[in-house]
Structure 1
């Protein structure tokens, strides 16, 4: 079984929920390599007692760093608990991250229910290989 690379992101009002979710899925998380933005990464490492690759805080470029990892094929799933009720000054970065996850066919959960379903899937951690889009024609189009 190949270790899955999971990116975890949570807005301030959703950090507690993501930490609680991570604790409830700790056994599955141990089978993953975890990447997270700034404070979320620190809180996760403390709460679940496992290594977390900490990137910049979202507003300082962490969302974009995760987007770059997705584009490079280094992330297998995105768990992003975002707050739809809070004003988000870095909204363009968030939209760009969500867009990249869709472009590259990355399984993505934006709430606890979907994250639970993703992590409880019998094929997710053992045996799922996502289809990677072929952008050859897009990259070779005339300018």
Structure 2
């Protein structure tokens, strides 16, 4: 969601931002694609539209080519790096795009994630050991 914050809508910016953030929230990935463009800055707006279009185009291309497996080291986060607004937009768009691919494939093939499965993975990149490849979480339920 690109929110153009122009002078004529100044009285509504705060309320609109809250509503746009709710609208663009994607719970399953804990991401939000809300982007504000202050004072209707045409250059900034153009850059954000270009970045978003590029991210979506790359996702379609990768899906078509069978690339970019979800969970690969290619998408591991470098926790020491501060992302620019454009990089964050690209990262969130990619994350949401992958979640949408999984949802589509699951629906199309009438498949669901198993209740329990057994597997192993490397939790670190094989080349750069300081880069995690997964975000480890533990789910406990009372039985």
Classify the TM-score, shorter chain: under 0.3
Instruction: State TM-score, norm by structure 2.
Output: 0.23
Instruction: State TM-score, norm by structure 1.
Output: 0.23
Higher relative contact order (CA 8 A, sep 6+): 1
**Pair member with larger Rg:** 2
Structure with the higher strand share, 1 or 2: 1
